[in-house]
A and B are shown apart, each in its own frame.
Chain A
Amino acid sequence: MPWNQFENVRPKLNLYDNPNFEPGSGITDRDVLIDCVEKIAEEMNNEPHPIVKAKAIEFVLDNTAIEVNPLDWFGLNYCGWLTWNAAKKIQKRTFMKRPSNVQNESWFAEIEAIPVKKPLEILNRRWFAEIKTTPEYDEAVKDIKETGTGYFGPDYDHSVPDWDSVINLGFKGILERAEKYYQEKKNDGSLTEKQNIYYQSVFITYKAIIRLVCRFLECAKKHEADSKIMPLMIECLEVIANGKPQTLYQFLMIIYIYHLLQENMDIIQVRTLGNLDVDGYPFYKKDIEEGILTSEQTEELFQFFFEKYTNQGHLHAQPLYFGGFNENGDSLINELSYIMLTAYDKSCIVNPKLFIKVMPNTPDTFLKKALEMIRRGRNCIVFINEELGCEISRKLGRTEEETRRLVGTGCNNFASRGKETTPEHMYVNLAKGIELVFTNGKDPLTGAPIGCETGNVSEFENFEDFKNAYIKQTEYLIDKAFIISDFYDSHLSEINPAPMYSGTMPDSVKCGRDAYHDGVTYNNTVMFLSCHATAADSLMMVKKHVYDLRTVSIETLQDALLKNWVGYEELRELMLSDPEKFGNDIDSVDSIAVEMLDHFTTKVTNRKNMRGGHFVVNGESIWFSHIWADKCGATPDGRAKGDLLSKNMSASIGQDRRGITAHIKSVTKIDATKLAYGCPFDYMLHPSAVKGEDGLDAMLGLLRTFMKRGGYGYQGNVQDVATLKDAQLHPEKHQNLQVRISGWSWFFTQMEKNFQDEFIRRAELEERAI
C-alpha cells in the first residue's frame, strides 16, 4: 500500500525548488517563457487585455515543461511557477530582515527588482505602466511611504475564488457554465463586445487548464509503475480532466491545481484554500464508507497536501479555515476537522495557516485541541468570532444564506462566499497625525508637507483643540487614501483582467464582466487604519500632562518630541511609566481609542468606492508597526523614533500592565463591527500561567470571554524568556520553535535578531507580571 511514507519521502517532495521536468514535455527555462509572454504582448498590442492575458496563459500552459513526482500524492509541477521560497532564494534576501529595509519601495519597484518573475507578471507591469496617472493621484502618493504615513499599491491579493464552483463543477463544468451564459446572451442578442471578450478569455483559459490536466495525466501514465500512488493519481487526474471530484483525494487535488494556476497565471493570490473540513467531509465520509480511505490514511493525505504549501513558503502563509454552522445552527466541526488538526500538528509547519471560526457552540474539545497546540508553540492558528462575523455580514447587507456561509479569508477576516472581491490598496497610520499636529502638517523627519495646516500647537487653548487638530490631520490622510484607492479601483481590470478567477465567480460569469470590474455582488474596498493604541496613548498623555495636570507645557513637549527626547529623558520616563494607557481597562484612555476609531471608521465606511461598493475597514497593522517605526518621530506616549508602534488591536508593547483580562476588556470596548474586515488581538502568555489542565481550561475561558465580549480575531504566543533566549543563542536546538507574528507565524530561529528581540521583550514583560 502507498501509505506510511510521508516522513520517509518528505525531503523529496519539494519540486518547486528542485524541479526535474519530464524530458521533452516543454520549455524548462522560465526566462524563455517570460520572453514568449512578452512577445505575445507585443504582437497583440492592440488586442483587448483579457484576450492577450488568456492567450498568454494558454501559451504557457500548453508549452511549459511539466513533471509528476511519483512519491507525492500532489506531486505536480510546471515551469513558470515561481514560489515565494524560490523568489526569495533568487533575490538572496535574508528572510524577515527588518521590513523597513526591504519593503519601503513601491510594489511595482519591488517587482522590477526581482530578477526572475512569474511569466504572466510581465503583463501586469506593462499595463500598469500604460495607465496615465492623474495629478491628484500623483499628489496623494507623494512622500506617503517615505514618511511612514501609510502604504499603498493596487491589490489583487485578498480575494477568494468560488470554491463551490471549483468543487461542484470542476474545470469542465466551469467552462460549460460560461458557454451556457454566453450562448444565452448571444441567442437573445444582448451580448456586447465587452462581454464577448470576457467570455472568450474565460473559454481560452479553461480549455488551456483542461489541456494542462490532460498533459499531467499523460505524464503520470508514463510513471504508472514507479510507485503505488501513481495508479490512484492517474485515476484522479482522469476524473479532474473530465469533471468534478468524487473522492477526498480528488477534492484536494483540484484545490491544489486551481491554487497553483490562479496564483501563478492569473496573478491573484488565493486568500483561502477553503473550508476544507466542512467541504471535504462528504467526500471523506463516502471514502470511509466505501473503504477507500481510513482515518489514518486521511491524516497522511493531509500531511502531503499541507507540505505543498510549506514548500511554497508564502511569506504570510496560505490560509485555510475550519468550522461554520448549518441551517439549524449546529456546528460543522466534524471528525475531519480533528484529523486535519492532528496532521498539521504532526508536520510542525506554519504554512498553510489555520483559521478557526468560533461560535458559542463550537465544541470545547476542538478548541482545546487547537489551544493545546498553541501552548506547545504550534501557534499558526487564529480564532475568529463567527457570531460577530454574522452581525457584520447582516450590517453589510448580505443575505442570511450568505451570512451562514461566510468565507474565512486572509489573516483574519470574513467575506461573502463566491460573491465578493476585496482589494486592500491602502494602509493609514493613525499615529502619524499626532506628529503632524506638532509640526503643523510637516513630516518632522523629512520636512515633507504630508499633512494639512492645523495651526501652531502652542496656540491651542485646550485638549479639544489638540484633538480636533489630530482628527483633521488624520482625516486629511484618509482623504489621500481615498484618492489612491479610487485610482487603483478604476483600473483594476485593465491592469490585471482575471479570466481564471472570474470564471469561478457565479455573478461574474452570469453578467459577463470581470470580477474586478463590478462583476460580483459585493465590491468593497478595504482600508487599513492601523496603530490606534499609540495614537490613543499619545492623546491621553497630552490631555493629562499638558492640559489637565499641566506637568509640562505644550512647547516643552513639542521640543522634546522634535529632539527625540534627547535632553528630556525624565519627561520621557514620566510619559512611559504613566499607567493610563490603552490595554489596562482604564476608561479615560480606552474611551479615546473608542472615540477615535468610531470617528474614522464612520468616515471611511460612509464613502463609496469606484466599483459600486463601499469602503470597509481593517484594524490590523500587519507588520507596519515595524516598517513605520523608523519613519515616525517620537510620540507623546514616551515612544522614541524607531520604537515599535502598537500592533493590531493590542496595547503598545509593555503598556498592558494589568494582565490579559484587563487587556481583553480594553480591546473589546472597541466596536469591532466597525472594523468589519478584521481586527485581531495579539496576546502573550507565560507558559507557567497556563500550565496543566487548569491552564488549558483557562486558555479556553479567555478565548470564550473574548468572543462573548465581541472581540474579532484572537491570536498569540505562549513563550518564556529562557527558551527564546536559548533559541537565539543555539538556533540548532530550537528549529521548530514558532512565534505568531501578525496574521501568520514563523520559525523563531529564521527571523532577524531585531524581530526576535521584540518577542523576547514581550515575554520578559509578561514574566515580570506573573
Chain B
Amino acid sequence: MTANIFDIKHFAVHDGPGIRTTVFFKGCPLKCIWCHNPESIDTKKQLGYIAHKCATCARCVNVCPTGAHSITDGVHKLDRSKCTLCGKCADICPSNCLSVYGRQISLEELMDELLEDSDFFECSNGGVTLSGGECLMQSDFCVELLKELKKNNIHTAVDTCGYVKKETLYKIIEYTDLFLYDIKAIDENIHISCTGQSNKIILENLKYLDSLNKNIEIRYPYIPGYNSNQADKIANLLKDLKNICEVKVLPYHNYAETKYKSLDIQNTLPTKMPEDQEIKSIRNLFKKYGLKVRD
C-alpha cells in the first residue's frame, strides 16, 4: 500500500499540540484562491523551478534525458512538455531551485520515518498530523497509517477541509485524536466563489464529528475582502457545538507567490493582507462567544 505525498515536515509546531511530524498528501477537492500549498492541489507529480535561486550551472541540462532544460544567453528555460518528471535534475541541482512534488511512499517506509521522531512526540506531547492537500482523498491509506500510529501510542491529528464523505470520516474516527477542521465560510455562495465547492457537506460533517464527541480544532483562514465577514457567523455556529477545543484564526499571507511561479500555474492569491489589529479583534470576537482561541 502506498500514498501519494509531497512532503514530510519534521518539527511542525502549528499543526496540533506539541512537536509534530506532518505528512502532506497530494491532491485536494477544493481550489481555494488563497491556497498556500498550490503544489498540493493536483494529484499528479509536478516539477517546481524557482528562477531566482538558479545559478545557471547547467547541471540540469547535462543530466536531463529528454532535453527539458536549456540555457540560452545565461537564462535557464524549462520545457515542461518534454519533462517526464524523472527528478534527476532536482537531485543534482546545487541551488535547490528544482523540486519534484509528489512521490509514492509505502506504509512501512513512512512509519519508519515517523517513528524516528518518537522521542520528540513523547517529550512534547506531540504526534503525527495528516495534512495536504486533503489527506482523506487517500482515506484507505490514512486508515492504515492512523491504525499503525495508534498501535505505537502516537497522538494523531487529521487536518481536513471536511469536503469528504461521511463514511470516510467514520472510518478514521477511532484512530484520530484530534481533527484540525477548516471552516472557510458559512455563506454557501462565498464558499463556492472562494473554493469552487459548496460548503454543505463540510458543515454537515462538522456537526457529525461533534456528535461523535471528537476533539475538533477549528481553523479559520482569514482573507480580507473574501471571507473576512464570516467570523461572526462561524462563531455563531461553533458556540452550539460541544467538542470545539480551540479556534485558530489563520491570518492570510502571500508567501506562496514563489510557489505558483515555480509551478507555472495561475496565481490566484489575493493581494491584501490583514493587519495585526484586525486579527486580534477577530480572535476577540471568538473569545466573546466563549470559544478558546489560541494566538
Quick check: which of A55-63, A94-102, A589-597, A695-703 contacts chain B, the rest being far away? A695-703
- Closest residue of B by beta carbon distance from A585: B116
A660 contacts across to B, CB distance below 8 A:
11
How many angstroms from the CA of A665 to the CA of B295 in the assembled complex? 30
A573 within 8 A of B: yes
A689 within 8 A of B: yes
A43 contacts across to B, CB distance below 8 A:
none
Contact check, B119 vs A705: say whether CB atoms are below 8 A apart.
Answer: yes
Contact check, B94 vs A701: say whether CB atoms are below 8 A apart.
Answer: no
Partner among B13, B17, B120, B295 whose Cβ is within 8 Å of the Cβ of A705 = B120
How many angstroms from the CA of A661 to the CA of B18 in the assembled complex? 13
Partner among B10, B119, B294 whose Cβ is within 8 Å of the Cβ of A708 = B119
A690 within 8 A of B: yes
What is the predominant secondary structure among interface residues of chain B facing chain A?
Answer: loop
Contact check, A702 vs B117: say whether CB atoms are below 8 A apart.
Answer: no
A662-B10, A697-B124 as given contacts; A705 in contact with B19, CB under 8 Å: yes
The smallest beta-carbon distance between B54 and chain A, in angstroms, is 14
B133 within 8 A of A: no
Q: How many residues of A contact B (CB 8 A)?
A: 24
B27 within 8 A of A: no
How many angstroms from the CA of A618 to the CA of B205 in the assembled complex? 58
**A661, A692, A693 interface centre (most CB from chain B within 10 Å):** A661
B75 within 8 A of A: no
The smallest beta-carbon distance between B58 and chain A, in angstroms, is 11
A709 within 8 A of B: yes
Contact check, B124 vs A661: say whether CB atoms are below 8 A apart.
Answer: no
Contact check, A702 vs B295: say whether CB atoms are below 8 A apart.
Answer: no
A186 within 8 A of B: no
Partner among A689, A698, A708 whose Cβ is within 8 Å of the Cβ of B18 = A698
How many angstroms from the CA of A453 to the CA of B116 in the assembled complex? 43
The smallest beta-carbon distance between A432 and chain B, in angstroms, is 28
**A662, A692, A698, A704 interface centre (most CB from chain B within 10 Å):** A698
A75 within 8 A of B: no
Contact check, B11 vs A659: say whether CB atoms are below 8 A apart.
Answer: yes
A368 within 8 A of B: no
How many angstroms from the CA of A698 to the CA of B122 in the assembled complex? 12
B151 within 8 A of A: no
Contact check, B94 vs A689: say whether CB atoms are below 8 A apart.
Answer: no
B52 within 8 A of A: no
Contact check, A701 vs B10: say whether CB atoms are below 8 A apart.
Answer: no
Q: Which residues of B from 1 to 55 have beta carbons under 8 Å from A? A: 10-11, 13-14, 17-19
A573-B94, A660-B11, A698-B18 as given contacts; A692 in contact with B123, CB under 8 Å: no
A698-B124, A702-B124 as given contacts; A709 in contact with B13, CB under 8 Å: no
A550 within 8 A of B: no
A459 within 8 A of B: no
B13 contacts across to A, CB distance below 8 A:
689-690, 694-695, 697-698
B126 within 8 A of A: yes
Contact check, A665 vs B116: say whether CB atoms are below 8 A apart.
Answer: yes
- Closest residue of A by beta carbon distance from B18: A701
Contact check, A698 vs B11: say whether CB atoms are below 8 A apart.
Answer: yes
A754 within 8 A of B: no
- Closest residue of B by beta carbon distance from A700: B124
Partner among A693, A694, A695, A701 whose Cβ is within 8 Å of the Cβ of B120 = A701
A577 within 8 A of B: yes
A10 within 8 A of B: no
What is the predominant secondary structure among interface residues of chain A facing chain B?
Answer: helix
A658 within 8 A of B: yes
A698-B19, A701-B126, A702-B120 as given contacts; A692 in contact with B294, CB under 8 Å: yes
The smallest beta-carbon distance between A250 and chain B, in angstroms, is 41
Q: Which residues of A from 648 to 684 have beta carbons under 8 Å from B? A: 658-662, 665
How many angstroms from the CA of A692 to the CA of B124 in the assembled complex? 15
How many angstroms from the CA of A705 to the CA of B116 in the assembled complex? 12
B116 contacts across to A, CB distance below 8 A:
585, 665
Q: How many residues of B contact A (CB 8 A)?
A: 19
- Closest residue of B by beta carbon distance from A692: B295
A665-B116, A692-B295, A705-B19 as given contacts; A658 in contact with B123, CB under 8 Å: no
- Closest residue of A by beta carbon distance from B119: A705
How many angstroms from the CA of A695 to the CA of B15 in the assembled complex? 11
The smallest beta-carbon distance between B169 and chain A, in angstroms, is 25
The smallest beta-carbon distance between B224 and chain A, in angstroms, is 20
B10 contacts across to A, CB distance below 8 A:
658-659, 661-662
How many angstroms from the CA of A689 to the CA of B11 in the assembled complex? 9
Contact check, B123 vs A701: say whether CB atoms are below 8 A apart.
Answer: yes
Q: Which residues of B from 240 to 261 have beta carbons under 8 Å from A? A: none
Contact check, A708 vs B123: say whether CB atoms are below 8 A apart.
Answer: yes
Q: Which residues of A from 695 to 749 have beta carbons under 8 Å from B? A: 695, 697-698, 700-702, 704-705, 708-709
How many angstroms from the CA of A692 to the CA of B246 in the assembled complex? 14
A702 contacts across to B, CB distance below 8 A:
11, 19, 120, 124
Partner among B11, B123, B294, B295 whose Cβ is within 8 Å of the Cβ of A704 = B123
How many angstroms from the CA of A585 to the CA of B117 in the assembled complex? 11
How many angstroms from the CA of A704 to the CA of B116 in the assembled complex? 16
The smallest beta-carbon distance between B155 and chain A, in angstroms, is 12
**A571-582 interface code vs B (CB 8 A; 1 in, 0 out):** 001000100000
Q: Which residues of B from 99 to 125 have beta carbons under 8 Å from A? A: 116-117, 119-120, 122-125
How many angstroms from the CA of A269 to the CA of B14 in the assembled complex? 45
- Closest residue of B by beta carbon distance from A576: B94
B119 contacts across to A, CB distance below 8 A:
705, 708-709
How many angstroms from the CA of A659 to the CA of B10 in the assembled complex? 7
How many angstroms from the CA of A702 to the CA of B126 in the assembled complex? 11
Contact check, A705 vs B94: say whether CB atoms are below 8 A apart.
Answer: no
The smallest beta-carbon distance between A256 and chain B, in angstroms, is 39
B122 contacts across to A, CB distance below 8 A:
705, 708
Contact check, B123 vs A705: say whether CB atoms are below 8 A apart.
Answer: yes
The smallest beta-carbon distance between B49 and chain A, in angstroms, is 16
How many angstroms from the CA of A641 to the CA of B116 in the assembled complex? 36
Contact check, B17 vs A697: say whether CB atoms are below 8 A apart.
Answer: yes
Contact check, A701 vs B295: say whether CB atoms are below 8 A apart.
Answer: no
- Closest residue of B by beta carbon distance from A768: B96
B126 contacts across to A, CB distance below 8 A:
698, 701
The smallest beta-carbon distance between B157 and chain A, in angstroms, is 12
A694 contacts across to B, CB distance below 8 A:
13-14, 17, 294
- Closest residue of B by beta carbon distance from A662: B10
B18 contacts across to A, CB distance below 8 A:
697-698, 701
How many angstroms from the CA of A693 to the CA of B13 in the assembled complex? 10
B11 contacts across to A, CB distance below 8 A:
659-661, 689, 698, 702
How many angstroms from the CA of A167 to the CA of B17 in the assembled complex? 45
How many angstroms from the CA of A695 to the CA of B294 in the assembled complex? 11
How many angstroms from the CA of A702 to the CA of B123 in the assembled complex? 8
How many angstroms from the CA of A577 to the CA of B91 in the assembled complex? 11
- Closest residue of B by beta carbon distance from A706: B123
How many angstroms from the CA of A197 to the CA of B39 in the assembled complex? 80
Contact check, B124 vs A701: say whether CB atoms are below 8 A apart.
Answer: yes
Partner among B14, B17, B19, B94 whose Cβ is within 8 Å of the Cβ of A661 = B19
**B13, B94, B122, B126 interface centre (most CB from chain A within 10 Å):** B13
**B11, B18, B119, B123 interface centre (most CB from chain A within 10 Å):** B11
B94 contacts across to A, CB distance below 8 A:
573, 577
A697 contacts across to B, CB distance below 8 A:
13, 17-18, 124-125
A573 contacts across to B, CB distance below 8 A:
94
B294 contacts across to A, CB distance below 8 A:
692-694
A690 contacts across to B, CB distance below 8 A:
13
- Closest residue of A by beta carbon distance from B120: A705
Given A573-B94, A700-B124, 13 extra CB contacts under 8 A: A659-B10, A692-B14, A693-B295, A694-B13, A698-B13, A698-B126, A701-B18, A701-B19, A701-B123, A704-B123, A704-B124, A705-B119, A705-B123
CB<8 Å pairs between A and B, sample of 8: A692-B294, A694-B14, A695-B14, A698-B11, A701-B126, A704-B123, A705-B19, A705-B124
In the A-B complex, the 5 residue pairs with the smallest Cβ-Cβ separation, listed nearest first, are A701-B124, A704-B123, A705-B123, A698-B13, A701-B19
Interfacial residues, chain A to chain B (CB-CB below 8 A): 573, 577, 585, 658-662, 665, 689-690, 692-695, 697-698, 700-702, 704-705, 708-709
